[in-house]
């Protein structure tokens, strides 16, 4: 619910947020709402790509599974509430 609300709020921004800035903003939004999430960074080598997203255990927050399954997780940073 909070991730969907955040997505709707992003529609009113004058710029489009990319994964790093959008993930950070969503993490702060969740913290202000009293929730926590892990910041996850993944890469793939051929062709090289990197992506980040939020998760709570194995639940993706504000991200679709088919978009992250091609990445190998290289960092998972636990976030405190």
Question: Among residues of the chain, what percentage have pLDDT more than 70?
Answer: 94
Give me the mean pLDDT over the 8-26 stretch: 79
Residue 54: both structure tokens together:
């939020």
Residue 65: both structure tokens together:
């599974």
Q: Write b or e for each residue in 53-64: b if 16 or more Cβ atoms lie within 10 A of its Cβ, otherwise e.
A: bbbeeeebbbbe
Q: Is the pTM of this model over 0.85?
A: no
For residue 63, the enclosing domain spans 2-77
pLDDT at 8 over 90: no
Total domains, the chain: 1
Q: Are 74 and 43 in contact (CB under 8 A)?
A: yes
pLDDT at 40 over 60: yes
């Amino acid at each position: 619910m909070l991730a969907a609300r955040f997505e709707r709020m992003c529609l009113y921004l004058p710029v489009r947020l990319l994964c790093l800035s959008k993930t950070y903003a969503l993490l702060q939004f969740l913290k202000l709402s009293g929730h926590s999430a892990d910041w996850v960074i993944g890469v793939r080598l051929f062709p090289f790509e990197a992506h980040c997203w939020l998760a709570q255990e194995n639940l993706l927050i504000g991200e679709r599974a088919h978009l992250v399954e091609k990445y190998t997780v290289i960092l998972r940073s636990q976030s405190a509430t």
